[in-house]
Amino acid sequence: MSTQQPSPKRGVSRTDHWTFFRQWLRNPLATAAISPSGAQLARLMLAELPAGARRVIELGGGTGVFTAALIAHGIADADLMVVELNEELHQHLLQRFPQAHVACGDARELQTLAAQSGFADAGPADAVVSGLGLLSMSRATQQAIVQSAFDCMRPDGRFIQFTYGPTCPVPRELLGALGLKARRAGIALWNVPPATVYVFSRVP
């Protein structure tokens, strides 16, 4: 069996599917889907990056589907930070994207992780792309993650999140408390399962 790592330019490989599915079997509540996100969803997410976006943080890197798409989109490895809480997936990402800032940790501690990895040294991010299962989290955890994301971004930065649920993954009252607004950007019908993309930004 080959031990060659998949190229960042490639789509989802059989190794990616197996790595992701193994984590789902171990902890289905922490892993929102049974397979990695698809190309259609990645395109929808990247289409919502701010014009001229150069520095991006990804939350919940998984097997690297969005990571590879961001690099193919033109985001330099050195300007990309990927956060993954699962240690096996973190190691997978480290091997696949050795030049990116790949951190193993809790998204609620994003500012600390960005500083420790050296990503924060070059300034704030233009956007945060998230594959985290916000709907399965407590209100306090949702607030901590979203607040940490905006604390790491420039004032007009965007938080781009997908969800498998039928409604916005961040409740209206929480948006109000954080001074944010939400916009539904599109639906990836061919994703497994289908997913909806939301974009969050600060209220002017």
- pLDDT surpassing 80 at residue 119: yes
Confidence band for 97, pLDDT divided at 50, 70 and 90: very high
Chain segment 26-77, per-residue pLDDT in tens: 554 444 444 456 888 999 999 999 999 999 999 999 999 999 999 999 999 9
- Give the pLDDT score at 192: 79
Q: What is the pLDDT of residue 37?
A: 61
| pLDDT at residue 131 greater than cutoff 50 | yes
Q: 14-202: which CATH architecture?
A: 3-Layer(aba) Sandwich (3.40)
Check residue 7 and give its pLDDT.
40
pTM of the model: 0.83
Average pLDDT over residues 1-8: 37
pLDDT by residue (tens digit) across 145-198?
Answer: 999 999 999 999 999 999 998 899 999 999 999 999 999 999 998 887 889 999
Q: Which whole number is the average pLDDT over 98-114?
A: 98
CA-to-CA dists, residue 28 to 25, 34, 195, angstroms: 6, 8, 18
How confident is the model at residue 191, as a pLDDT? 82
